[in-house]
Amino acid sequence: MEDHESDFEPRIITSAGNADVKLLRSLHERKFRRKSGWFLAEGVRICTEAVQLGHAPVRLVYAEDRHSDPFLVPLIEACRDAGGRTLAVSEDLLVRISRKDNPQTVIGAFEQNFISLEQIVPKGVWVALDRVRDPGNLGTIMRTADAVGAHGIILIDECTDPYSLEAVRASMGAIFNVQIAQTNQAGFLDFARSFDGQLIGTALPASEDYRLANWQAPLILLMGNEQAGLPETLMQACDQLVRMPMMGRSDSLNLAVSTGVALYEYLRHQPAKSGGSPE
C-alpha cells in the first residue's frame, strides 16, 4: 500500500522503516544526495519561497496536526501537482528525519539544479569560490549573492556541498534563486580565458585597494579558500588582484564577510535600478 493521504484524511506514517522516511533521512549524507539528486530544506518559509520560485518539492513531510494549516496547503498542492508525494508523520519521525530534537514542522525534499560552465552568460557578476570548506560560509555567500543580484556561484575543486542542510539553511532560500556550477581548477582556467569580461580576485599579496578597482561588469569575483587563499595559478589568471585594508590587529576577514564587502562594492559602481538586478 502506497504512503499517501487522501484529500481529506491523511494517513499518518509512524514507521521508521517506511521507504520515503529512510530516503529522506539518508539525504543528510552527501553521497546519498549525489545518488538521488535530492536535498532537504526545512521550514514553511523556505519551502514556500522554493514553490514561489518554481521549485516544487518531490517529497513534503509535515507534522500530522498541520494538515489544515493555511500556510501548508499550497505546499501540499504544489507537491502533488508536480507528481511528488506528501507525508503526514508523527513527531517522533520528524525528529528522526531532521536529526534535531526540536525539528521544523515541515521538511521538503527538492531536486538539485547544477548548471554547466557553458550555460553561464557573461553579464552582471558571478562569484567563483576556490575550495570553500565551511557550509555556513557558502550559504551566507549565496544569500549575499542573491541580495546584490549576482547571477550565480562557481565552485572550484573540492568545495563543501551547496545542498547540505547547513548551507541551505544559511542561504535563507537563496539556494533556489542563484545558479550553481561546479568545475575543477583546469576547467575554470579554460572557462576564464574565454569569458567575455574581467576576473577580479582578492588576495593578501595584492597591492590594489578594493575600493580603487575597476568593478565594471561583466565580471567574475574570485575568492580563495578560508585558510590558504587563492593559489598562484588562479591569481595569475586574474585581470585585477585586490586586497581589503586591515586597520587593526586582524590580518584577514571571514570569507563570507569579505565576499559580501566586495559584492557590495561592485554594486556601488553599477547604475542604480530600483528593485532590479544590475546587468
* Predicted confidence pLDDT, tens digits, the chain (279 residues): 344 444 445 568 888 889 999 999 999 999 999 999 999 999 999 999 999 999 999 999 999 888 778 999 999 999 999 999 999 998 889 999 998 888 888 999 999 999 999 999 999 999 999 999 999 999 999 999 999 999 999 999 999 999 999 999 999 999 999 999 999 999 999 999 999 999 999 988 777 899 999 999 999 999 999 888 899 999 999 999 999 888 888 767 899 999 999 999 999 998 876 555 555
Position 278 in a domain? no
Give the cell for residue 117: 560552465
- The reply to whether 63 and 39 lie within a common domain is yes
Cα separations in angstroms, 182 against 118, 192, 275: 11, 14, 29
Query: Treating both helix axes as pointing N-terminal to C-terminal, what angle do 73-81 and 44-52 enclose, rounded to 10 degrees?
Result: 50
Position 106 in a domain? yes
Position 6 in a domain? no
Position 44 in a domain? yes
Give the cell for residue 79: 507537491
Given this model, what pLDDT does residue 267 score? 96
Q: What CA–CA distance (Å, rounded) separates 239 from 270?
A: 19
Q: What CA–CA distance (Å, rounded) separates 140 from 170?
A: 5
Residue where one domain finishes, among candidates 59, 79, 112: 112
- The reply to whether 49 and 89 lie within a common domain is yes
- The reply to whether 49 and 80 lie within a common domain is yes
Alpha helices in the chain (DSSP H): 19-26, 30-36, 44-52, 73-81, 91-98, 135-147, 165-171, 185-194, 232-237, 255-268
Given this model, what pLDDT does residue 226 score? 86
Position 273 in a domain? no
Return the ∠ at Cα 219 (arms to 169 and 187), rounded to 5°. Answer: 75
- The reply to whether 66 and 189 lie within a common domain is no
Q: What CA–CA distance (Å, rounded) separates 142 from 199?
A: 19
Range of the domain at 263: 115-268
- The reply to whether 71 and 187 lie within a common domain is no
80, burial (CB in 10 Å: exposed 0-12, middle 13-18, buried 19+):
middle
- The reply to whether 166 and 255 lie within a common domain is yes
Given this model, what pLDDT does residue 104 score? 86
Give the cell for residue 96: 528522526
Position 2 in a domain? no
Chain-centre distance for alpha carbon 153: 8
Given this model, what pLDDT does residue 207 score? 78
- The reply to whether 149 and 246 lie within a common domain is yes
Position 156 in a domain? yes
Number of domains in the chain: 2
Nearest to 120 by CA among 17, 176, 222, 194: 194
- The reply to whether 90 and 159 lie within a common domain is no
Given this model, what pLDDT does residue 274 score? 56
Q: What CA–CA distance (Å, rounded) separates 79 from 51?
A: 9
Does residue 253 sit in helix, strand or coil?
coil
- The reply to whether 29 and 68 lie within a common domain is yes
- The reply to whether 88 and 129 lie within a common domain is no
Give the cell for residue 146: 542573491
Give the cell for residue 39: 536535498
- The reply to whether 94 and 126 lie within a common domain is no
Residue where one domain finishes, among candidates 81, 112, 143: 112
Position 132 in a domain? yes
Residue where one domain finishes, among candidates 112, 139, 172: 112
